[in-house]
Amino acid sequence: MIISEGTKILFIGDSLTDKGASTNDPDTLGMGYPRYMRDYLYSKYPELQLEVINKGISGNRSIDLINRWQSDVLNIKPDILSILIGTNDIWRQFDMPEMDIIDADMYENNLRKMVEAAIENGISKIILCEIPPIEKGFDDYNCSKALESKGNEMIAEYNKKVHKIASEFDLFLCPLNKILKDNISKGSNIKYTYDGVHPSTTGIMTYAISLINTLLL
């Protein structure tokens, strides 16, 4: 277990992490997996007096995290840092092709910059999360349908970079993509997203359990 008394846990990412934390939630946790994890950990380990912080912002790409890394990570000095980013690095290549592309190599470099800066500032317990798969969405969600196969091929390429950085810096790795794909293959009638990308409540619970298992190693 890598948590102890007074541990400060910070989650950073995009809308998969945000879930309202950056906009309309009075305690800035949102309704996603950071809240599920906070509630579980508070219930299980009340004596540890843990602090859980959500710094997810909807729409962010890896470059956006770099631009706010000082204020939203380094200045806060978490004991444990969880990074889940990359969906929009891929997604924007489909729905906003006019934006500057962040290809897999650029994504790798961005991850490396984040991790190096964190380690240099004394943040050594870092969890890198695989980018979740894109699930078949509802019939009226055309963007998700377009991403259905090509998107998952690209996600696999980007996740190789996640594994590379995790191995290079000896980080904790949360195999979120593998876990979700395994679950989807076992329960064909269960929706882990509500639109092909963003997690349903079942998806959120799966994220939370996957990260809880990583934290309690």
pLDDT band at 1 (very low <50, low <70, confident <90, very high): confident
- Helix (H) / strand (E) element for 47: namely none
pLDDT category at 95 given cuts 50, 70, 90 is: confident
Domain boundaries, the chain: 8-215
Residue 136's pLDDT is 61
Q: Model confidence over 163-189: pLDDT tens digits? A: 999 999 999 999 999 999 888 888 767
Q: Which of 171, 160, 168 is nearest to 123 (CA)?
A: 171
Residues 60-81, mean pLDDT to the nearest whole number: 98
Residue 59 pLDDT exceeds 70: yes
Which of 97 and 165 is assigned the larger pLDDT? 165
Looking at the domain 8-215, which fold is it? Answer: Rossmann fold (3.40.50)
Mean pLDDT of the chain: 90
Q: What are phi and psi of 129, to 5 degrees?
A: -105, 135
pLDDT above 70 for 57: yes
Highest mean pLDDT among 18-32, 66-80, 146-160: 66-80
Structure-derived torsion over alpha carbons of residues 9, 63, 155, 153, reported in degrees to the nearest 10: 180
